[in-house]
Amino acid sequence: MKATYQKYTLNFKQPSGTSRGILRTKETFFLFISDKNKQGVGECGLFRGLSIDDVPNYEEKLQWLCNNINQEKEKLLVELAQFPSIQFGLEQALLSLNSADKFELFPSEFTKGNVSIPINGLIWMGSEQFMHRQIKEKLKSGFTTIKMKIGAIDFNAELALLKFIRKEFTSKEIELRVDANGAFYHKEALEKLKRLSDFELHSIEQPIKQGQWQEMARLCEDTPLPIALDEELIGIFNVTKKEEMLQTIKPQYIILKPSLVGGFRGSNEWIQIAKKMNIDNWITSALESNVGLNAIAQYTFSLNVTMPQGLGTGSLFTNNFESPLEVKNGALYYHNNKQWNFNLK
């Protein structure tokens, strides 16, 4: 087998706001593995400023993988333990290489186009008017689960946006999730959670910054609404450490981004540990191109999920690749009669 990689920059259609700043571009890398007349492709979705593998020697590690591609898969994954996005790219590329259709990694009723995956509609941070407009668009598009990023504008203005939705729709009609991306100071977090709970939210993601296990544990114990850990999972690779973190914090949910937690293998490990503790989960993409999103979606469907997942980021970029994936009426579909146009030029 031979392997190469290529860097690619995704351009946002419009600047997208998070608590970490404004995103205009998203860097990603594609891993290609060839064996005789077959080729597989996987996306190494590095997320600058968030990924644990956002390090200066990232491309050196990618080149190391290309140079050592004929080693056993397990040995490679162990060697890449500190580079979860490269682990994920390798898993995708190997599955792609060995499939009849290199983009069909987990053949299912989803890839046949018979069943869709329910997803949440994502509301990006920005001005109150901008967020208000997004909410209207998502509701008009048929979403019944809305996820709103909070923590960037005035908290009262964010509450007003939630109030706007609840005036029109009950919690049975529209499910509301919020994602604080660690924006709350731990001493004020519980009071903010109480105010948010007035709007019958499904959950809040990462209310305080990761790494504050005892403070997060107290929040999860006293919270009036379910808490989902997201960034908290990043950078924890040891099984014992994963168990220790979940046993300490006891969250209501965990959220898995395969590019950030070590791909299919890392996600499966988290899911197995969490299930033992009756902690539920859902899967979210991390601004990958349609190549990575496709892999995550097919994997997600294989888990027999029922609650809405976070897989609606494919339409954010001007230079994404045409694919069979389509978001319609609050769900992700795979139209297998549509062709891929995967061209890096």
Residue 74: CA count within 13 A, CB half-sphere: 0
The answer to whether the beta carbons of residues 229 and 251 sit under 8 Å apart is yes
Active site residue 172: no
Candidate list 26, 147, 209, 257, residue with the active-site label: 257
The residues near 342 (Cβ < 8 Å, ≥ 6 apart) are 41, 103, 291, 321, 323
The closest alpha carbon to 73, from 93, 57, 58, belongs to 93
Of 12, 46, 13, 43, which Cα lies nearest the Cα of 27? 46
Give 130-161 as a DSSP string: HHHHHHHHHHHTT-SEEEEE-SSS-HHHHHHH
Query: One of 26, 102, 147, 149 is an active-site residue; which one?
Result: 149
Question: What CA–CA distance (Å, rounded) separates 178 from 123?
Answer: 9
Identify whether the C-beta of residue 41 lies closer than 8 Å to the C-beta of residue 342.
Answer: yes
In this structure, are residues 41 and 55 in contact, taking their beta carbons and an 8 Å threshold?
no
Question: Comparing C-alpha atoms, which of 177, 189, 239, 178 is closest to residue 214?
Answer: 189
Q: Looking at the DSSP assignment, which residues form a beta bridge with residue 9?
A: 27
Rounded to whole angstroms, how far apart are CA atoms 294 and 344?
17
The total number of residues shown for the chain amounts to 345
Whether 328 is a known active-site residue: answer no
- Residue 6: in which H helix or E strand, if any? strand 2-18
Specify the DSSP class assigned to residue 25: E
Written as one string, the DSSP assignment of 170-200 is -TTT-EEEEE-TTBB-HHHHHHHHHHHGGG-
Kindly list the catalytic residues. Answer: 149, 257
